Structure 1
Amino acid sequence: DVGDKLFYDYDFGDDWQHTIKLEAVLPRCDFGPRAVCVAGRRDGPAEDCGGVYAYELICAASDPQNPDHADAVAELSYVYGEFADPEAMRVTPFDIGEINEALAGLGWQGQDEPDDSNAGQQRNYPGPLDELVRAARTTAGKRELRQLIGKARLDPPVLVDAATASRMVRPYTWLLDRVGDDGIKLTGAGYLPPAHVEAAMTELGLGEEWIGKGNRENQTLPVLHLRESAANMGLLRKRHGTLLLTSHARKLRGDPVALWWYLAKRIPPKSPDACETHAGVILLLALAAGAAEDPDRVTARLLGAIGWVNGDGTELTELAAGQACWDTKTVLRRLGALTDDGPGHSAARPTAEGVAFARAALRNWP
C-alpha cells in the first residue's frame, strides 16, 4: 500500500541500511521502461569500503578541494595503512543519464536472448565465463555475454569421433612424433634445423600458406607458429638448447582423441596478460555461439565492456582485439577449426568441427 516501507540491509560488514518507501501507485504504460531513476545525489561508495564512516573519509581524502582533505589523508593512512590509495577506493560519480541507460539495458527479454525461467537466479557458468560476466562493467556487455553463452548450447555434451580428432590434431601429432623421445637439437639461434622445417612444410602441406624456400624456421611462419603453439599448450619444452616432449606430450602422442580433449581443456593458452586470456575466451564464445559478426569485432566490443583499453586510453580496435587472441587463433587454425575469408586472416570463421571444439573448450575447463 502507499506509504509502506521496505527496509534492507546490504553487506553485513559495511552495514548499508536502505529504506524503500512506496510513494504512489500509477498506471503502467505497456511500452514504458521497467524502471527509471528520477533523482539522486552524492556519489556511490566503493564495494567493501567500510561503511558510512569510511565512505565520508574516502570522499574527503579523494577531493583536494575538501577542507578536511589533509586530515582525511592522514587518517586514511592511519586506519588502512601507509600504502592506502584513495584512488583504489574511489567513489562512483552519480550520473542519472548513465543510470537510466543501464536500467534501459535491463528491459524486456530480447528476441535473441535464450529463454531462462531462472533469469533472476545465479547462473552456473563455467569458471572463466562466470569471471567474464562478472568483469563486464556495462549492462549491455553483461547482456551480450549471457546471450552468447545461451546460444553456445553448453548443456548438451560434445562428442568427437576418432577419425575427426585424428585429422584435426595431425599437425601436433606429427610434430610430437618428429621431436620423439630423443628431442631435436635447435640451432644456435634457437630455431628448428632446416631439415625439420622442410619436412613440416612438405608433409603437413603448408606450402600454400607461405612463400619462400621453407627451410628456415624464422622465415617460415606456419612452422614457427606451430612449434610455438605446441609449447604454449604445454606439449613441448626446451632444455639446454634441445626441444623435448613434455610429460603430457609423451602420454598423448599416440592417442589423438585424448590429445584433442587435452587441447580443448587448455585453450586459451596460459598468458601472464589477462587481456589475452579474456580475448581468447571471448573468441571461443563467439565461435561456439555462431556469432554472425566478425569475431574480432565481437571481441573488441566485449573487451571494452570489461574495461580493456589501449595504453593511451583509446578503445581497442578490431585489429588490437585480434592480436590479443592471436595465440588462441593460432591453435584453432592449425586444428582446422578456423578458416579465413580474405587476405591477412582478416575475417576468421569457424568450421563445423571448430564450433564443436569451441563448445568443448567452454564446457571442460579444469
Structure 2
Amino acid sequence: MLRYRGRHEPALPRIGCVTAGDADDLRRQFDALTSGAELSDLRQLFGNVAQIAGGFVKRTHNPHLRRPRRTEPVVLRVRVDLNDAEPPIWRRLDLRSDLTLASVHQVLQTAYDWSDSHLHRFSIGGDTFDMAAEWFLCEWEVEEGEDEGTPDTDVTLEETLVDPGDVLHYVYDYGDNWDLTIRLEEVIDLTDGTPAARCLEGERAAPPDDCGGLRDAEDLAEILADPTAFDVDDLNHRLVSPATGLADWGVRRELVDLLDQLIRTPVGGDLVARAVAISTPEVPDAETVRSHLAAYQWFLDRAADNGIPLTAAGYMKPAEVEAAAGVVPAASDWIGKKNREDLTVPILEFRQSLQQMGLLRKFKGSLLLTRAGKVAQRDAGVLWQYLADHLVDGSGDTFGAQARLLALLCLASEPKGAHERRLADALTHLGWRQRDGRPVSPDQGQWAIREVINLLGNVAEAPRDRPMPRSNRRALSPVAVLLINAALTSDG
C-alpha cells in the first residue's frame, strides 16, 4: 500500500441517507440545487449541510460494481483526460489489465508529472464523490476509516474496465481537485515483453501541483514555461520499470514479473536493488559442489543400489535413518537416538523434500531414483543445476510460490537479514490477504523464510562434531546462498 509523506487533506463530510418517505423529494431538490455546480461548490454545500445538521451521516455501504478478474491478463488501451481542461490535456496509455489501481495511480502521477503528495481515490459507477459509486481509496483514507471504500491495492484495472467505453474516475488532491476520466478504448492481446505501462500519445503539459486547480491555457501560461509541451519519449522513459532490464541480465522471468508488479509500491525499489545484486552469481568449483551436496548424494547413491527399504508405515528403516543422520547436516543437533525417521524430523523432512523435487519416488516399499534422479546421481554438476531449477515452484500465481520466490531473493541478497516484515508487505502489495481480510502478517513472512532455510539447510559440508551456537543453527551456508543465486538467475 502507498504511504503518503506530504500534507493530507481531511476526508470530506458525506451525507449518507434520509428517511424513506423524504428520499425522492429530497433528491429532486438536491438535483435542482446542484445542477451544473462545480466540485468546489458541492464541497462547500456538503459542509454547510453538515454544519446545519450538527454533523453528518457516514456512508455505510460501498456498492460492489466491479467485474471478475480475467483468467489471463491483456492490455487495456485507455484515453485519460483532465476534466474541464481547455484545450484538452490528455494521454493515451496502454496498461496491463492486472495492474492494481494503486499502481495505476503511480502511472497517472508520472503521466501528469505530479508529486504524489496528496490523497487520491478511484471510482466506477459515478464520479469519485458520488454516493452511488463504488469507491477505491488510498491507504490513508482506508486507515482513517471516515469513508467506506475498498483499498485501491486490492483491485485490479481489469475489474473496473472491461468493455470499450467503460469509464474509471480518478481524483488527486482534494483541494486542487485534479479529476481525470479514464475511458477504455480497446482490449489488446498481451505479448511477451509488453511493458506494464506505455504512453502512445498525448497533448499539453499538465498543471503543476498546488497551483490552485488551474486548467485553462491562459492561466497555465502564467505558471508554465510552455503549456503546449509534451514529450511522449520522455514520459515512456520515466514509465519504464527498473525491473524490466533485469530479464536481460539473466534474472529469472517469474521474479522479474513479480518485481514489475511491485516496482510502484514502497517495497519495490528495495527488492529491485536486491535482484540487481544477485544478477551476476558466482559459480562454485566442482569440489565445493560435491562437498556441500554430500547429503543429497548419499540419498541418491543409496537409492541407486536396489532402493532404500521402507517400513510398512512408509518410513525409512532404523539402520538407514542412523546412517543418514551421519551425513545430513541438519540432523547433527537433533536430540535423541536418531534411529526412527518419524522421531528424527530433519531426516524425514529432507527425504520428503527429495521426493517433492522429483529426485526420489516410492515404489513397492522402497525409495527409488526417478529418471531425473538417475541423471543427477551420476554428476554433481547436474545435481546442482537440477536443484537450482527446482527451488522455484512453477505455479507462479499461488501464495506459496510467490512467497518462496521473494524469500529466496531476500536470503540471497542478505542471508542473515530480518526479512519478515519486508516479505509480508510485498505479498500484501501483490494482493494477498489473510482469511479475515487483514494484510499478510510478519509471521507468515517468517514461515516462507523458514521454509527456504529448512529446504537448503543441508547444502553444507559434513555434520558438525559439536553443536553450533543456537543463533547460528538456522543460518544458510555461503554455498547454499550461491545455489539460491543460481536458482534466481536460471531460465527455469
- Which TM-score bucket, shorter chain as reference? 0.5 to 0.7
**Residue 485 of structure 2 corresponds to residue 359 of structure 1:** yes
Select the residue among 99, 115, 135 that pairs with 1:34: 115
Instruction: Give 1:289 deviation, angstroms.
Output: 1.7
CA-to-partner distance for each residue in 1:136-175, whole Å, 9 max, x for gaps? Answer: 49611323322222233x0x25322011101111100001
* 1:300 corresponds to: 424
- 1:151 corresponds in structure 2 to 277
- SS in structure 2 of the partner of residue 188 of structure 1: coil
TM-score, normalization: structure 2?
A: 0.50
Match of 2:414 among 272, 290, 295: 290
Query: Residue type of the partner of 1:208?
Result: S
SS in 2 for 1:175: helix
- Indicate the residue corresponding to 2:301 in structure 1: 177
1:53-90 deviation line (CA, Å, top 9, x unaligned) = 4879xxxxxxxxxxxxxxxxxxxxxxxxxxxxxxxxxx
| Amino acid paired to 2:374 | R
User: Of 267, 270, 275, which residue of structure 2 is paired with 1:141?
Assistant: 267
Question: Could you tell me how far 1:349 is from its partner in structure 2?
Answer: 4.1
- Structure 1 outlier segments of 4+, above 6 Å: none
1:279 aligns with 2:398: no
Query: 2:165 is matched with which residue?
Result: 52
Give the structure 2 partner of residue 8 of structure 1.
91
SS at match of 2:423: helix
1:52-201 map, 5 Å? 52-53=165-166, 120-121=239-240, 122-125=244-247, 126-136=252-262, 139-152=265-278, 154=279, 156-201=280-325
Report the CA distance between 1:292 and its aligned residue: 6.3
Is the 8 Å Cα contact of residues 264 and 364 (structure 1) preserved in structure 2?
Answer: yes
Contact 1:13–1:50 under 8 Å retained in 2: no
Is contact 1:288-1:356 (8 Å) kept?
A: yes
Task: Give the structure-1-normalised TM-score.
Answer: 0.66
**Against the structure 1 CA distance between its residues 46 and 124, is the aligned structure 2 distance closer, same or farther, given a 3 Å change threshold?**
same
Q: Deviations over 1:277-327 (max 9, x none)?
A: 112111211122227631334322322222323223333333322323554
Q: Match of 1:178, SS?
A: helix
| Distance in 1, Cα, partners of 2:352 & 2:344 | 12
Q: Which amino acid aligns with 1:50?
A: D
Distance apart, 1:181 and its partner CA? 4.2
Give the conservation status (yes or no) of the 8 Å contact 1:184–1:242. Answer: yes
Give the 5 Å matches for 1:207-286.
Answer: 208-269=332-393, 274-286=398-410
In 2, Cα distance between equivalents of 1:157 and 1:39: 42
- 2:428 is the alignment partner of 1:317: no
CA distance in 2, matches of 1:211, 1:142: 42
Q: Residues of 2 paired with 1:342 and 1:269: CA distance?
A: 32
Query: Measured at CA, do residues 326 and 39 of structure 1 come closer, stay the same or move farther in structure 2, by a change above 3 Å?
Result: closer
**Alpha-carbon shift at residue 362 of structure 1 (Å):** 0.6
Structure 2: tracts of 5 or more residues without a match: 1-84, 98-112, 122-126, 129-134, 137-155, 170-236, 462-466
Taking the aligned partners of 1:285 and 1:253, their CA distance within structure 2 comes to 28
**What percentage of aligned pairs have identical amino acids?**
28
Deviates more, 1:240-249 or 1:165-174: 240-249
Amino acid at match of 1:51: P
Q: Aligned pairs, how many?
A: 283
Q: Secondary structure at the match of 1:218?
A: helix
Is the 2:314–2:365 Cα contact (8 Å) retained in structure 1? yes
Cα distance in 2, alignment partners of residues 132 and 146 from structure 1: 10
Preserved CA contact (<8 Å) 2:457 2:474? no
What is the CA distance between 1:192 and its match in structure 2?
Answer: 0.7
The SS at the match of 1:9 is: strand
CA contact (8 A) 1:269 1:328 kept: no
Separation of aligned partners in 1, 2:264 and 2:438: 17
For the 8 Å contact 2:359–2:370, the answer to whether it is kept is yes
8 Å Cα contact 2:318-2:340 kept in structure 1: yes
The Cα of 1:189 is off from its aligned counterpart by 1.3
Distance apart, 1:132 and its partner CA: 1.5
Q: Deviations over 1:87-115 (max 9, x none)?
A: xxxxxxxxxxxxxxxxxxxxxxxxxxxxx
Q: Cα distance, 1:211 vs. partner?
A: 1.0
The residue type paired with residue 245 of structure 2 is R
Between Structure 1 and Structure 2, which shows a larger proportion of helix residues? Answer: 1
Instruction: Give the letter aligned to residue 133 of structure 1.
Output: L
CA distance in 2, matches of 1:331, 1:13: 35
Question: Residues 204 and 290 (structure 1 numbering): CA distance in 2 closer, same or farther, change over 3 Å?
Answer: closer
CA distance 1:36–1:3, change in 2 (3 Å)? farther
Between the aligned partners of 2:423 and 2:468, the Cα distance in structure 1 is: 18
Change (3 A) 1:272 1:239: farther
